[in-house]
Amino acid sequence: MKICDFRAWFPHGLILLAFLASAAHAEPYLAVQTGLKCGQCHVNPTGGGLRTPYGDVFAQRIMPHDHLDTGADTWTGEINRFLSVGGDVRFDGQYETTPGSASVDSFALEQARIYLNATVIPTRLAVYVDEQVAPGGALNREVYGMYWSASHEWYLKGGQLYLPFGLRLQDQTAFIQTVSGINMTTPDQGVEFGWEHNAWDAQFAVSNGTAGGPEVDHGKQYSGQLIYVEPKWRLGLGANLNDAAAGNKSAVALFGGLKTGPIAWLAQAELVDDKSIPNSGGRMLATLLEADWLLAPGNNLKITSEYLDPNRNVAQNEETRWSLVYELTPIQFLQLRAGVRYSDGIPQDNAEHVRLYFLEVHGFF
Amino acid sequence: MSERATTSCMPRSRTDHCVPQTIATAGLLGDTSARDYAYKLQLFNSFAAPELRRAVASLDLKPGMRVVDAGCGTGAALAWLLQAVEPEGLVVGFDLATAHIKAAHAAAGAGAAVLQADLLRPPLARASFDLIWSVNTINHLRNPLQGVCSLAALLRPGGRIALGQSSLVPDMYFAWDARLERVTNEAVRRYYRERYGLDERSLADIRGLVGVLQRAQLHSVTSHTCMIERVAPLAAADEAYMLEAIFRGSWGERLRPYLHAEDFAELARLCDPRHPQFALHREDFHFLQSFTLAVAEIP
């Protein structure tokens, strides 16, 4: 499609999609802005996926610029006392340039996901499903059973789950998500123990270490994090070890959030050592610093600076990435995102000099 | 508030002293999700607004605090609480009744989140809030202790629960006729006992508000009672509350079976705005209603 056609069609596509769209995604800046834990808005205590009734009401009443009246009924995802559903659709138009290559403009259905939570014993025992239904065929993201203690101070999960390790960002291509290999595209099969006590949160998971694929050896992946959450700040420490025959991969991350007036700050620094890469070439460092400035209700300006040293044994091979994203939530359950991402790296590698411009429609319920 | 019929209250952790055991269909005073007394709540909130706002102010809320209004009714207090914690604070209200939630959404505007929920199963994460505000709500529960435990679990360390309750001591309506006032109050109590199948003791359980907070293992329990006092000439909001919510809503024809004929006739004259003896237009009209705010802290 030519660029002029793209521009002509795009606004109409947005309007159409505004009425078709549906779902939720982890946005840790919202947790920092509200001073709450991820589990306040998401069924999953580590964030992302199906929203709680509070999360749904927050999305309808506090997050958007305007609220369209739906009468006496308010969507909370609860079909009945035992069953909740939700969903997420992201569709975008992109224009990407890479030196030495032809520019590319495209539409892409990034994802459509459906969530289901059956609390077969209310507040205690649940079966949770996160299924990506598009693009392509159905793809299971998370499916687990979760048992909560009576005091809700600990839980046990088993199944396919996202691993607990650092900030769970919306942007799965962020350096801190890709370097560790732990993100929302790489759930793994295993068990997770979670502990929540006042301001403390901790999770520890043991999984196959195959990103959901079949197990090939006796080695397992161990992931954990410990987070302290105060209303204005939070600090966490994450660690991961994937014991694999091809070579162990370990990662540690220090992450946190800070609220200064209308700005929520997120930061993470992580060190990764991937022994499967020869000659100590797998020693990596990735950082992220993000500012989310709530300009007005429903208007968020997100500025992100990222740094990656893909091989700490090699000098002057660093990559950087800057993102500027404007997020407009005009009405409940609908978000429009416009952004640019500038990547820079070594001059010899054109792939490290990508310029990405995108406009995204995000619908959720 | 709907609730469970029985409670097992046992210490489990600092934020979980009570565990609900069984579920009943309606609260002590017949509350269900379908019940609607939004009009009476709005009348009360308008009438008692000065005293309720002073009670909110006495809590010394700070910007950035996270507050829950449990049993928020039609949501008048949501706006007051929000003013106290803005711009970075958070206010969440919940109530059982669909009609109340609808009104609360309108009253709260965009700043507060309002949820429909049972007080005994609040859909909020534990240990997350700085203050629970709950006015004239716990008295609707069959087991106030269980309700307090359920709410206290939402508080972070150092968080407070503030329970407001009006009329722990009898109201004064007819300053010039103590006998008629007494028999009217007794008639009201008999009506409620028969309507909801209650005994005298269960209807008066709420008098033990301070004891409930103590039994919930909360600390630093304090209580302060002020009088909501109105004298003639009444403001429009005061007259509307007394006429619509009390004379017509709580008394009226429903008290006829519980009063002697001459007492009922006298009461009817005093409550009739078209009658020359209409109480609210008497020059010596003097109304007193207590409002108690009991506050406790989670360790």
Instruction: Tell whether A279 lies on the interface with B, counting CB pairs under 8 A.
Output: no
Give residue A332's identity as a one-letter amino acid code: Q
Cβ–Cβ contact B9 with A under 8 A: no
| Residue A180 pLDDT greater than 90, yes or no | yes
Contacts of residue B115, Cβ cutoff 8 Å, sequence gap at least 6 = A53, A54, A57, A76, B92, B93, B94, B101, B123
Chain-chain contact of B88 with A259 (C-beta, under 8 angstroms): yes
* Residue B6 predicted with pLDDT over 60: no
- The CATH architecture one would assign to domain B7-168+197-228+290-297 is 3-Layer(aba) Sandwich (3.40)
The whole-number pLDDT of residue B24 equals 41
Measure A103 CA to nearest chain B CA, in Å.
43
Give contacts of B156 with chain A, Cβ < 8 Å: 198-199
Count CB neighbours of A136 within 10 A.
8
Residue from the list A40, A262, A297 with its beta carbon closest to the beta carbon of B128? A40
- B126 part of contact set with chain A, CB < 8 Å: yes
pLDDT digits (tens, 9 = 90+) for B176-200: 999 999 999 999 989 988 888 877 7
Ranges of beta strands (E only) in B140-206 are 155-166
What is the average pLDDT across A126-154?
A: 94
Res A23 pLDDT > 80: no
Q: Are A291 and A303 in contact (CB under 8 A)?
A: yes
Is B99 within 8 Å of A72 when comparing Cβ atoms? yes
Structural domain of residue A132, as residue ranges? 3-364
- Contact flag B123-A123 (C-beta cutoff 8 Å): no
Query: What pLDDT is attached to residue A11?
Result: 41
- pLDDT exceeds 70 at position A202: yes
3-state secondary structure B13-38: ECCEEEEECCCCCCCCCCCCCCCCCH
Q: A232 and chain B: CB distance < 8 Å anywhere?
A: yes
B75 interaction partners in chain A (CB closer than 8 Å): none
* Residues 233-272 (A) with a CB less than 8 A from some CB of B: 259, 261-262
CB B67 within 8 A of CB B89: yes
User: Quick one: pLDDT at residue A53?
Assistant: 92
* Contact between chains at B125 and A40 (C-beta distance less than 8 A): yes
Please name the member of B64, B110, B123 whose beta carbon is closest to the beta carbon of A61. B110
Which CATH number do you get for residue A328? 2.40.160.10
Average pLDDT score over chain A: 90
Give the count of domains, chain A.
Answer: 1
Q: Could you read off the pLDDT of B76-115 as tens digits, one per residue?
A: 999 999 999 988 899 999 999 988 998 998 888 778 999 9
Length of chain A equals 365
Residue B65: list chain A partners with CB under 8 A.
231
Using the structure block, give the residue that is written with the tokens 């609210």.
B280
CB contact under 8 A, B113 and A151: no
Lowest mean pLDDT among A15-24, A111-120, A297-306, B226-235: A15-24
Burial of residue A20 (CB within 10 Å: 0-12, 13-18, 19+) is exposed
Q: What is the DSSP letter of A51?
A: B
- How confident is the model over B31-36, as a mean pLDDT? 80
Q: Which of A39, A57, A152 sits opposite B113 (nearest CB)?
A: A57
Residue pair A257/A231 in contact (Cβ under 8 Å)? The answer is no
pTM (2 decimals)?
Answer: 0.84
Nearest-CB residue to A198 (from B12, B115, B127): B127
Q: Does the interface ipTM go beyond 0.90?
A: no
What is the pLDDT confidence band of residue A217, given thresholds at 50, 70 and 90? confident
Backbone angles phi, psi at B81, to 5 degrees: -65, -40
- Residues, chain B: 299
Portions of chain B given CATH number 3.40.50.150: 7-168+197-228+290-297
- Among A32, A33, A40, A229, pick the best mutation site for testing chain B contact (most B Cβ within 10 A): A40
Give the percent of chain A with pLDDT over 70: 93
